[in-house]
A and B are shown apart, each in its own frame.
Chain A
Amino acid sequence: MTEIDHGTVARYCKPYFLDENGNPTARCFELRKNRNEKYLSVCLLEFFDKPTEKEKLVDVKNFMEKNGFSFKSKAAGFALLDIEKSKEYIFQKISEKISYREVNSLPHCGIFHESYGDLPIAERLAQCVKIFYSMKNL
């Protein structure tokens, strides 16, 4: 799997992952252990040739719908992460390496880590969110 070393990725966040003020929490970055999930699914924004983040996110939404995903709640949204900054931040804070790798084909990528526990990484990734776009605004 090809490693992606720069750019911005979008992670879909369900409404019950958000705090009462609508901000993303670490729940957005927890692996689904009951499904034996090995990585966190994200979409690379740079794949879409649009001038603004918002327009790119509309394309991400369309891409996900085409692949069978159904967006039921307007309270959900996308959390954006800068690849380089998040990798650096995670390493700086907890000495863990994470990687962003292409999964199947772009724009689909995965955030991979081999941490002993997913909670610390999930907390730190939530701290890396540079902006959150609610579905209401897309």
Chain B
Amino acid sequence: MTYYDFNTPFSITERETPEIFLFLSSDQKAPFYTKKIVHNNELFYFEFSNPSQTYSDITESEFNKFRNKLKNVMNLNEALTLAESFFSDAQYLFKRIKELSDMFDEEEDSPISIDSLKSMLTFLFLINEFFKPILTLNESGMFHTSWKKDNNNLITLRFKEEESLDYVIFRDSRHGKKPIILNGNMNIFDFKEYLVKLYLYFEISKGKNND
């Protein structure tokens, strides 16, 4: 079986790309990086069929443990207590969520959506090492995260129930004056893979692997 070295510096050309041969015993799991080649300074992904590719920065069992426990959570405080025991180095996130919930007026607006909070925490745990987002709430009690480089380069996510989200992405166009707008909704796992496919995953993730 032939694999290509995923840690190879991007500056090499295809011809110089070293081939690395990995010999796996039958009980070893194949790495997530199969069918990924380095070519002309860019990464191309030939296949996204392996669901384990989704868990590159955390272990799958760790992720499932968090996800299953979160499913049983009934309120915001429980969700935060659980998340604090799983997330590393994200105290600012919990502080901000508490701050937003204190500001939120449940008499006037809809209650804070625990399902939205769960989707957001699951997504952020999936990313694991993420850049600090701008975190806000809308009047329907849904959590939003934004990563903004400038007015034409941003990613905003509105988290909904059942691990889904609405997204808007602005990018500079290489061919016209009007920026590119990507807008829609999808499952959080599909969205992570979508960002990888668009080469935008590193806009939100500090992770080592762009998978």
| Contact residues, B148-196 vs A (CB, 8 A) | 151-152, 154, 156, 158, 166-168, 170, 178-179, 181, 183-184
Q: Is B134 an interface residue (CB 8 A)?
A: yes
Q: Which of A16, A20, A25, A117 contacts B183 (CB 8 A)?
A: A117
Q: A25-B146, A33-B140, A34-B110 are in contact. Are A72 and B105 (CB under 8 A)?
A: yes
Query: Which chain A residue has the least Cβ–Cβ distance from B100?
Result: A16
Q: A17-B136, A32-B139, A123-B170 are in contact. Are A93 and B96 (CB under 8 A)?
A: no
Q: Mark A116-138, 1 if CB is under 8 A from B, else 0.
A: 11011001000100000000000
- B151 cross-chain contacts in A, Cβ below 8 A: 127
C-alpha spacing A46/B58, complex, angstroms: 56
Q: Is B104 an interface residue (CB 8 A)?
A: yes
| Contact residues, A26-47 vs B (CB, 8 A) | 26-27, 30, 32-34
Q: Is B118 an interface residue (CB 8 A)?
A: no
Query: Which chain B residue has the least Cβ–Cβ distance from A117?
Result: B183
- B136 cross-chain contacts in A, Cβ below 8 A: 16-19, 25, 27
- B24 cross-chain contacts in A, Cβ below 8 A: none
Q: Which of A20, A116, A117 contacts B134 (CB 8 A)?
A: A20
- B59 cross-chain contacts in A, Cβ below 8 A: none
Q: Is A73 an interface residue (CB 8 A)?
A: yes
- Quick check: B178 and A119 within 8 Å, CB to CB? no
| Contact residues, A61-79 vs B (CB, 8 A) | 70, 72-73, 75
Instruction: Identify the interface centre among B108, B139, B154: most chain A CB within 10 Å of its CB.
Output: B139
Q: Which of B105, B139, B154 contacts A123 (CB 8 A)?
A: B154
Q: Is A104 an interface residue (CB 8 A)?
A: no
Q: Is A94 an interface residue (CB 8 A)?
A: yes
- B178 cross-chain contacts in A, Cβ below 8 A: 92-95
- A117 cross-chain contacts in B, Cβ below 8 A: 166, 168, 183-184
- A70 cross-chain contacts in B, Cβ below 8 A: 108
The 4 closest A-B pairs by CB, nearest first: A119-B168, A16-B137, A15-B103, A16-B103
